[in-house]
Amino acid sequence: MRPLEGLLVLDFSQFLAGPFAATRLADLGARVIKIERPGTGDIGRQLYISNLSLDGDSTLFHSINRNKQSYAADLKNAADVAKVKQLIARADVLIQNFRPGVMERLGLDAKACAALNPRLVYGVVTGYGSAGPWAEKPGQDLLAQSLSGLTHLNGNADQPPMPFGLSVADLTASAHLVQGVLAALVRRGTTGRGALVEVSLLESILDLQFELTTTFLNDGGKEPQRSRVNNANAYLGAPYGIYATADGFLALAMGSVVKLGELLGLPALTTFTDPQTWFTHRDEIKELLAAHLLTQSTRHWLDRLEPADYWCAEVLSWPRLWETEAFRALDFVQEVTRPGGPTMRTTRCPITIDGERYTSPRGAPRVGQDNAQIQKDFGL
């Protein structure tokens, strides 16, 4: 048995943060029913991160809605709402990420659902919290990154604010929602009482920055200063960063600059004996490193650094990573198939329990695909 087998999750959410949280619960064994509007379904079905479509839906939708059932219901239709309420009365978890006020207008807010089912764990994702002057702002990943200060940490000092190359606010909020839901389920096991679990993109992306914001909060409000050369962390000194070599790129993490100079045959670095200078002179040190590392291949430098246990790594592209024995050992790619539709390759659940890696071969459902089965199972 998977840990969450026997639990029923109703996924009212759309786009990324909410659906991905529900997918993780499905990976761990829960039965997840996606409640969608008839016809168009989740707007995320047409949210493309490339021009690649499979069987009429985006690859993003396929990847974050695997192993779910779809129940089509018009939440403005009284008869459909009555059936949905019957499902809520039987559910363990409900997830929604509508803007504040939407579920209240539908009569499906946390208080109303708790009256139907006091054991229900009701999970909510918002952009910026359910109250306050930003509550009505669009809860979109790039906007949350921009408002959170995160974009001022990326890139070199002479570059403008730069976002992450993936939906880091959505994904972090999704993980936090799963943590909160699981904690509430544990408490319910002892008290019998459900809970309202709330996360926001902004709070999650701020939490992701806790190392650096804690320094900021205790350093007189001094803003972090990005390195001018190969910046990778605004608060870390040399050599921290990614450097070009004669045939690729090399990542260098924390370590003694003096030792690095000795290993690389770069005497100029051995003069920086005071660790304080590794920050105060970091751009000077990194410029010396950048010029020197260009003279040889990545493999040449790894052969000098790895035997000495100096923290370093080759910078790999996806095709290069996919070819490594280390990646193959993870068995991290799975195939999921929609009945009568395409098979898609995607990643599996990253959690291993008792030695078992969880895969979910059932692909994302079509809109309303499971209405008949769900109505039969629950007597709707």
Q: Check residue 196 and give its pLDDT.
A: 98
> HSE on the CB side for 42, CA within 13 Å?
36
Asked whether residue 371 is domain-assigned, the answer is yes
pLDDT tier at 147, thresholds 50, 70, 90: very high
Q: Check residue 47 and give its pLDDT.
A: 80
Q: Check residue 339 and give its pLDDT.
A: 85
Q: In total, how many domains does the chain have? A: 1
- CA 327, CA 254: separation in Å to the nearest integer? 25
pLDDT tier at 245, thresholds 50, 70, 90: very high
pLDDT tier at 223, thresholds 50, 70, 90: confident
Q: Is the pLDDT at 341 greater than 90, yes or no?
A: no
Of 12, 176, 174, nearest in space to 93 by CA = 12
We report the CATH number of the domain holding residue 366 as 3.40.50.10540
Asked whether residue 2 is domain-assigned, the answer is no
Asked whether residue 184 is domain-assigned, the answer is yes
Asked whether residue 195 is domain-assigned, the answer is yes
Asked whether residue 58 is domain-assigned, the answer is yes
Q: Check residue 133 and give its pLDDT.
A: 96
Q: Is the pLDDT at 48 greater than 80, yes or no?
A: no
Phi-psi region for residue 129, left (φ > 0), alpha (ψ -120 to 50) or beta? left
In this prediction, residues 220-230 reach a mean pLDDT of 91
Q: Check residue 90 and give its pLDDT.
A: 98
Asked whether residue 78 is domain-assigned, the answer is yes
Window from 178-182, 219-223, 282-286, 348-352 with minimum mean pLDDT: 219-223
Q: Is the pLDDT at 49 greater than 90, yes or no?
A: no
The range of the structural domain enclosing residue 50 comes to 8-208+347-378
Q: Check residue 52 and give its pLDDT.
A: 80
Asked whether residue 85 is domain-assigned, the answer is yes
Q: Maximum CA pair distance of the chain? A: 79
Phi-psi region for residue 43, left (φ > 0), alpha (ψ -120 to 50) or beta? alpha
Q: Check residue 66 and give its pLDDT.
A: 95
Of 18, 172, 146, 160, nearest in space to 94 by CA = 18
In this prediction, residues 124-129 reach a mean pLDDT of 97
Q: What is the mean pLDDT of the chain?
A: 96
Asked whether residue 140 is domain-assigned, the answer is yes
In this prediction, residues 219-238 reach a mean pLDDT of 93
Q: Is the pLDDT at 109 greater than 90, yes or no?
A: yes
Q: Is the pLDDT at 50 greater than 80, yes or no?
A: no
In this prediction, residues 49-76 reach a mean pLDDT of 91
Active site residues: 170
In this prediction, residues 246-250 reach a mean pLDDT of 98
